[in-house]
Amino acid sequence: MLTLEEVFPPYALRIACGPVELRVLRDDDLPELVEVVRGGIQAPGLPMPFLSAWHEAPFAPGEPDGFPSTSLAWWWTQRATIAPHEWRLALVVRRDGQVVGMQDLHAVGFPLTRTVLTGSWLGRAHHGLGTGTLMRRLVVGFAFDELDAGRCESGYVVGNAASAAVSRKVGYVEDGRRRIVQHTRDGDVGVEEQRVSVTPETFRRPETEVRTEGAAVLRRFLGVERPGDG
């Protein structure tokens, strides 16, 4: 019988460096992940970071219209978006084995665009330890070194100093601003988003060794295999 990783190759992916490890979200991770969200995400004094305030939905396990039910569809949609023309990798971030947040990758038309979009968050209790910088360096390095990407893009609401600092430390450069709509608990608001992008030329790599498993089977699954991938 096939293993789960052979049935669904993204599960074979593991990116690790120092105390931090990234793996594709599995259902078994959900209880720990939900507790992290419940502890809060947004840093005091910084703007709401997301397009939608999913993390502020009332905590009501088992209810259809509260958290976590309101977020399950999104997490499972990410897992179901895994064709070469559009894919998402929702990576659970663990530090010293404990779930601390998520690092998402998204690409449209990747075999031709070689461009990846990223988004990330950490539970508030886990901010300020360098994890946010390291996890972004890990996925950007993975995109460049293992998927042969040429560019990674991201964006943050103007005023999100933590995200701006992470982008700067990873080597992103500013790429213009645009106006976006945020769905907050108090209704829709228009805010300025700073777009940023990084290429291999400006990328600042992790300072310690990165261990990656499962890249070749994932490349094949995403239609970007290399000659030696088998």
Ligand X SMILES: CC(C)(COP(=O)(O)OP(=O)(O)OC[C@H]1O[C@@H](n2cnc3c(N)ncnc32)[C@H](O)[C@@H]1OP(=O)(O)O)[C@@H](O)C(=O)NCCC(=O)NCCS
The residues of the shown chain that bind ligand X, judged by CB under 6 A, are 41-43, 46, 49, 119-122, 127-133, 156, 160-163, 165-166, 169
3-state secondary structure (DSSP) of residue 120: strand
Closest CB 9 distance from ligand X, rounded Å: 27
Toward ligand X, which CB reaches closer, 11 or 75? 75
CA distances from 212 to 141, 205, 215 (A): 10, 14, 7
Q: Which residue has the tokens 């939905």?
A: 57
Closest CB 87 distance from ligand X, rounded Å: 19
Toward ligand X, which CB reaches closer, 163 or 197? 163
Residue 175 CB contacts under 8 Å (≥ 6 apart), including other chains: 153, 195, 196, 197
Closest-CB residue for ligand X? 132
Toward ligand X, which CB reaches closer, 43 or 216? 43
Toward ligand X, which CB reaches closer, 9 or 101? 101
3-state secondary structure (DSSP) of residue 197: strand
Closest CB 120 distance from ligand X, rounded Å: 5
Q: How far is CA 14 from the centre of its chain?
A: 14
Closest CB 181 distance from ligand X, rounded Å: 15
Burial class (CB in 10 A: 0-12, 13-18, 19+), 48: buried
Toward ligand X, which CB reaches closer, 87 or 121? 121
Closest CB 60 distance from ligand X, rounded Å: 22
Do 110 and 92 form a contact (C-beta atoms < 8 A)? no
For residue 138 the two structure tokens come to 């890990």
Closest CB 12 distance from ligand X, rounded Å: 26
Burial class (CB in 10 A: 0-12, 13-18, 19+), 140: buried
Toward ligand X, which CB reaches closer, 30 or 43? 43
Residue 110 CB contacts under 8 Å (≥ 6 apart), including other chains: 84, 85, 87, 116, 147, 149, 222, 224
